[in-house]
């Protein structure tokens, strides 16, 4: 259990959250739970295909966080900035209409250093979305290929970024409650959720239209902004008169409104993941999603 104040706790938290690159949205267990909920809430067009490998998809959803640990890089650069967009980091007036929606324009306007420091989540989500559309398209062309499992893998990876976009602290510069509420990131996204996971009040998964993946992600990140001050306020009130982040702290934090927000964003995440999967499949022309039949191949002599 972490103390509310104290040098040791501060050192540990700085090590853990020294930069946003060390922070994983929702925690791995919560990523798994949200993804499982998205799979179970899918319409009949896509549900049997994803349910057939539900364990595979809900395990691989955590992989982009592990790429950070392993120091992997992709086309856009190192992995960490792919997981957030610190909208307020551009110092533009809310609702950040002056922040360009094209990556090249962002780099041109603010410079590569600031652009990368503020994160690349919408553009990374777009990149993976397009890869998923390509795999679904390959399935339409050749149902006997590996494209089915590739599509499930990319569905998992896309789910990760979509879930990150619904975690309010992945949309602001003070991603860990700096300077005075350090640790709020993990308290909100992981411990609060896991402590209450059996009794969460969640909305049913609803499929929303996704005309454009990048705009969809930008909208989620914009939506996140309203929740940050409310979560910080719930935390601030919960620590009054306390020494430890203990059961009583988490009960107060939940009651002060943090749990309701976690439930809302958890529900929104599951709906968004199911929606982007459906959108990718539709964009690929709604291919038939059968796995190749297991018929013995002919021996060639
Ligand atoms: Zn992440």
Angle, vertex CA 83, rays to CA 79 and CA 85, nearest 5 = 120
CB atoms within 10 A of CB 102: 11
Q: Give 80's DSSP letter.
A: G
Residue 161 Cα to ligand 1 midpoint, Å, equals 6
Residue 191 Cα to ligand 1 midpoint, Å, equals 16
Residue 142 Cα to ligand 1 midpoint, Å, equals 32
Collect residues with CB below 5 Å from ion ligand 1: 25, 65, 83, 164
Separation CA 87–CA 130 (nearest Å): 23
Can you say how many angstroms the Cα of residue 100 is from the centroid of all Cα atoms in its chain? 22
Residue 288 Cα to ligand 1 midpoint, Å, equals 31
Residue 185 Cα to ligand 1 midpoint, Å, equals 12
Residue pointed to by tokens 């992989």: 63
Question: What number is the average pLDDT over the span 245-257?
Answer: 97
Residue 195 Cα to ligand 1 midpoint, Å, equals 21
pLDDT of residue 288 exceeding 90, the answer is: no
Q: Minimal CA–CA distance to 165: which of 210, 113, 114, 108?
A: 210
pLDDT of residue 234 exceeding 50, the answer is: yes
The C-alpha R_g of the chain, in whole angstroms, comes to 20
Residue 253 Cα to ligand 1 midpoint, Å, equals 24
Residue 167 Cα to ligand 1 midpoint, Å, equals 10
Residue 290 Cα to ligand 1 midpoint, Å, equals 30
Residue 25 Cα to ligand 1 midpoint, Å, equals 5
pLDDT of residue 25 exceeding 70, the answer is: no
Cis bond upstream, residue 99 (ω within 30): no
Question: What number is the average pLDDT over the span 190-212?
Answer: 95
Separation CA 244–CA 254 (nearest Å): 15
Q: Minimal CA–CA distance to 87: which of 97, 75, 79?
A: 97
> Are the CB atoms for 221 and 122 separated by under 8 Å?
yes
Residue 211 Cα to ligand 1 midpoint, Å, equals 24
Q: What are phi and psi of 89, to 5 degrees?
A: -70, -10
Q: Using DSSP, state whether 261 is helix, strand or coil.
A: helix
Query: For 73, what's the count of Cα atoms within 13 Å in the CB-facing half-sphere?
Result: 4
Residue 293 Cα to ligand 1 midpoint, Å, equals 35
pLDDT of residue 256 exceeding 70, the answer is: yes
pLDDT score of 141: 83
Residue 270 Cα to ligand 1 midpoint, Å, equals 15
Residue 59 Cα to ligand 1 midpoint, Å, equals 14
The model carries a pTM of 0.90
Q: How confident is the model at residue 146 (pLDDT cuts 50, 70, 90)?
A: confident
> Are the CB atoms for 173 and 89 separated by under 8 Å?
yes
Residue 64 Cα to ligand 1 midpoint, Å, equals 6
Q: Which two tokens stand for residue 93?
A: 């007036």
Please provide the size of the chain in residues: 301
Residue 135 Cα to ligand 1 midpoint, Å, equals 23
Lowest mean pLDDT among 112-116, 139-143, 191-195, 215-219: 139-143
Residue 96 Cα to ligand 1 midpoint, Å, equals 23
Question: What number is the average pLDDT over the span 105-120?
Answer: 98
Q: How confident is the model at residue 3 (pLDDT cuts 50, 70, 90)?
A: low
Q: Which two tokens stand for residue 81?
A: 């900035």
Question: What number is the average pLDDT over the span 238-247?
Answer: 95
């Amino acid at each position: 259990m972490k103390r509310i104040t104290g040098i040791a706790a501060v050192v540990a938290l700085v090590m853990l959250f020294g930069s946003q690159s060390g922070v994983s949205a929702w925690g791995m267990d919560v990523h798994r739970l949200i993804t499982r909920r998205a799979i179970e809430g899918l319409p009949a067009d896509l549900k049997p295909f994803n349910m057939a490998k539900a364990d595979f998809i809900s395990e691989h959803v955590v992989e982009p966080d592990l790429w950070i640990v392993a120091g992997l890089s992709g086309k856009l650069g190192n992995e960490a900035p792919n997981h957030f967009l610190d909208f307020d980091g551009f110092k533009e007036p809310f609702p950040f209409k002056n922040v360009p929606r094209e990556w090249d324009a962002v780099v041109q306007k603010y410079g590569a250093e600031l652009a990368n420091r503020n994160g690349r989540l919408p553009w990374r989500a777009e990149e993976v979305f397009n890869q998923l559309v390509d795999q679904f398209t390959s399935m339409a062309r050749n149902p006997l290929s590996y494209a089915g499992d590739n599509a499930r893998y990319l569905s998992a990876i896309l789910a990760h970024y979509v879930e990150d976009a619904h975690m309010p602290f992945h949309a602001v510069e003070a991603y860990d409650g700096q300077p005075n509420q350090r640790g709020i990131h993990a308290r909100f996204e992981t411990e609060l959720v896991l402590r209450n996971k059996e009794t969460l009040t969640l909305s049913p998964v609803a499929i929303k239209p996704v005309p454009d993946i990048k705009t969809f992600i930008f909208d989620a990140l914009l939506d996140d902004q309203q929740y940050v001050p409310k979560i910080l306020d719930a935390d601030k009130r919960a620590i009054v008169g306390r020494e430890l982040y203990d059961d009583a702290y988490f009960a107060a934090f939940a009651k002060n409104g943090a749990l309701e927000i976690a439930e809302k964003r958890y529900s929104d995440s599951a709906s968004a993941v199911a929606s982007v999967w459906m959108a990718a499949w539709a964009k690929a022309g709604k291919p038939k999603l059968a796995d190749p039949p297991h018929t013995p191949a002919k021996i060639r002599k």
